[in-house]
Amino acid sequence: MPSAKLVLDSAFVSAPVPRRLFGSFVEHMGRCVYTGIYEPTHPTADEAGLRTDVMELVREIGPTVVRYPGGNFVSNYRWQDGIGPRSERPRRLDLAWHSIETNQFGLHEFVDWAGKVGTEPMMAVNLGTRGLQDACDLLEYTNHPGGTYWSDRRVENGAPEPFDIKLWCLGNEMDGPWQVGHKTPVEYGRLANETAKAMRLIDSDIELVACGSSNSAMPTFGAWESEVLAHCYDAVDYISLHAYYEERDADPLTFLASAVNMDRFIDDVIATADAARAKGRHSKRINLSFDEWNVWYTDRFRGDGPQPKDRPWVEHPRLIEDEYTVTDAVVVGTFLNSLLRHGDRVTVACQAQLVNVIGLLRSEEGGDAWKQTIAFPFEQMRRLATGQILNVVASGDLFDSPSYTDVPVVDASATYDAENGRAAVFVANRSLDETASLEIDLRGVGGTAVASATTLHAGDGQDRSTTNLERHDSVTPTAFDAYAVSDGTVTAQLPPLSWTVFEVEARRG
Ligand code: AHR
């Protein structure tokens, strides 16, 4: 039986838990917006056409920030199409997803929705087909109090108070040849710098994210970040990272070890950003915005069904509606662990996406809405990871997969909150078939008792591929009691392929 030991000590903390680490993403793609969060004809729709059943689930999951409106979509989007009377809004071709965009949902609807679910909006500007002036116009529209052309248009459109949006992405995946308006790093670095400088002249309080690489396998990864930051280091606050993982070649062990790749990706971007800091003699540090991450079965997207260019142009087609399994939930748990362990530098992160499109949630047109398996680790960590991130000292058995060596069987992260006297420990058992024995030494956080413990794994009659599609509550965390506490140490038996969360009463004297 594999085993692991964790030592928690409140003397060893890395940073406060960043509030924006538990973000998500709403893109005009597939059915994320239309029939996802917005469906005026749905029986639960409110007066604004927003699905209240979906809003209720979003409130439970509680994403702290939501990125909008793309993604690839933003790179050929005119934000002006989505304001003003709905009957006058144009229908457009969305080149990114080969769809018809009706613009019935736009900026005001998104800000209204964000307020109702209690999340912070994070906006992306179009640096593909548009540019600096358009970004400035949008910022004037959202954040300037009034008395100018664009701010007065906002007031006319029913919003007397500025939206006061703080967090802005300077384009999306501009390194990707698939991006409409793809740029070289020099072109993008200069454009990001000039756009950032101009936007700050409108509102000096905003925070700006420069596009990093679309994933760590991009041939330009590393070189892109260095060149871009050489141009815009002082003008921006964050560099972005995107990563999607999937099980390939019937190799679940490599899939279960994916967070090793995520850890390395983050470490490499930190190193690259810090090298740019040294080279440019800058004083501030650039933080990381991991503003797209998830499991995504891209091979299915590329391999199955008509490819985008062969499809007819339709409104909100069903795109990449992956049904998530028990295995995916455990892997997503390890991604959350990786992000939390790096929370001193990754201070914004957005799971992609919120509804239907590789979604935490699924919803059917005119029908139900439910949480996918991957929503649970997200919701638990968002709720319980408070206070400070602990530098957990972890030891234990390792395994090799075809692509990674020395992967911890038990993957963990933890937080300690002196104010509420609670610690939280998040653990994944990556073994497909073996129970893992775990010891958690809580003496350094004054741990006395387990306040709650849950586990998510394949229950009776289920296997690692079970989803919540047929029965929406099939896979959920359930009470976990295979543990004992003695002298400030928890000993536990973690089920095979499981995600387990302990909430601990902990008061360091
Ligand atoms: O989240 C889906 C897509 O993945 C986004 O539009 C794009 O930024 C990324 O490639």
Q: Read off the pLDDT of residues 374-390 as tens digits, 9 standing for 90 and up.
A: 999 999 999 999 999 99
Q: Is the CB of 172 under 6 A from ligand 1?
A: yes
What strands lie across the sheet with 238-245, from one edge to the other?
24-25, 65-68, 120-125, 167-170, 207-210, 238-245, 287-295, 346-351
Identify the active-site residue in 27, 39, 101, 173: 173
Distance 69 CA to ligand 1 centre (A): 11
Closest CA to 428 of 325, 333, 326, 294: 333
Sign of the four-CA dihedral 309, 314, 316, 318? negative
Q: What is the pLDDT, as a whole number, of residue 46? A: 98
What number is the average pLDDT over the span 1-6? 97
* DSSP sequence for 300-330: HHHHSS--GGGS--EES-----PPPBHHHHH
Closest ligand 1 atom number to CA of residue 97: 6
Whether 298 shows a pLDDT value over 90: the answer reads no
What number is the average pLDDT over the span 127-151? 98
Give the model's confidence band at 305: pLDDT under 50 very low, under 70 low, under 90 confident, else very high: low
Q: What is the pLDDT, as a whole number, of residue 310? A: 78
Ligand 1, from 26, 172, 175: best to mutate by most atoms within 8 Å of Cβ? 172
Share of the chain above pLDDT 90, in %: 97
DSSP class of 23 = B
490 three-class SS = strand
* Mean confidence (pLDDT) of the chain: 97
The pairing of beta strand 24-25 with beta strand 65-68: parallel
Q: Is the CB of 27 under 6 A from ligand 1?
A: yes
Separation of alpha carbons 356 and 303, rounded Å: 19
Q: What is the pLDDT, as a whole number, of residue 87? A: 97
Q: What is the pLDDT, as a whole number, of residue 302? A: 62
Closest ligand 1 atom number to CA of residue 173: 8
378 three-class SS = helix
Whether 5 shows a pLDDT value over 60: the answer reads yes
What number is the average pLDDT over the span 230-254? 97
Neighbours of 24 (CB within 10 A): 30
3-state SS, one letter per residue, for 401-470: CCCCCCEECEEEEEEEECCCCEEEEEEEECCCCCCEEEEEEEEECCEEEEEEEEEECCCCCCCCCCECCC
What strands lie across the sheet with 92-94, from one edge to the other?
92-94, 99-101, 314-315
Q: What is the pLDDT, as a whole number, of residue 306? A: 61
Closest ligand 1 atom number to CA of residue 70: 6
Backbone angles phi, psi at 432, to 5 degrees: -70, -30
What number is the average pLDDT over the span 154-170? 98
What number is the average pLDDT over the span 493-499? 98
Closest CA to 201 of 146, 154, 143, 149: 143
Q: Is 292 annotated in the active site?
A: yes
* In 356-395, alpha helices (H): 375-384
Distance 179 CA to ligand 1 centre (A): 10
- pLDDT, tens only, 353-364: 999 999 999 999
Give the model's confidence band at 187: pLDDT under 50 very low, under 70 low, under 90 confident, else very high: very high
Angle at 160 between CA 155 and CA 162, to 5 degrees: 100
Q: Is 173 annotated in the active site?
A: yes
Q: What is the pLDDT, as a whole number, of residue 303? A: 52
The answer to whether the CB of 143 falls within 8 A of the CB of 120 is: no
The answer to whether the CB of 291 falls within 8 A of the CB of 350 is: yes
Separation of alpha carbons 63 and 354, rounded Å: 9
Q: Is the CB of 352 under 6 A from ligand 1?
A: yes
What number is the average pLDDT over the span 474-497? 97
Q: Is the CB of 351 under 6 A from ligand 1?
A: no
Give the model's confidence band at 300: pLDDT under 50 very low, under 70 low, under 90 confident, else very high: confident
Separation of alpha carbons 57 and 330, rounded Å: 21
Q: What is the pLDDT, as a whole number, of residue 397? A: 98
Closest ligand 1 atom number to CA of residue 27: 6
Distance 153 CA to ligand 1 centre (A): 31
What number is the average pLDDT over the span 426-446? 98
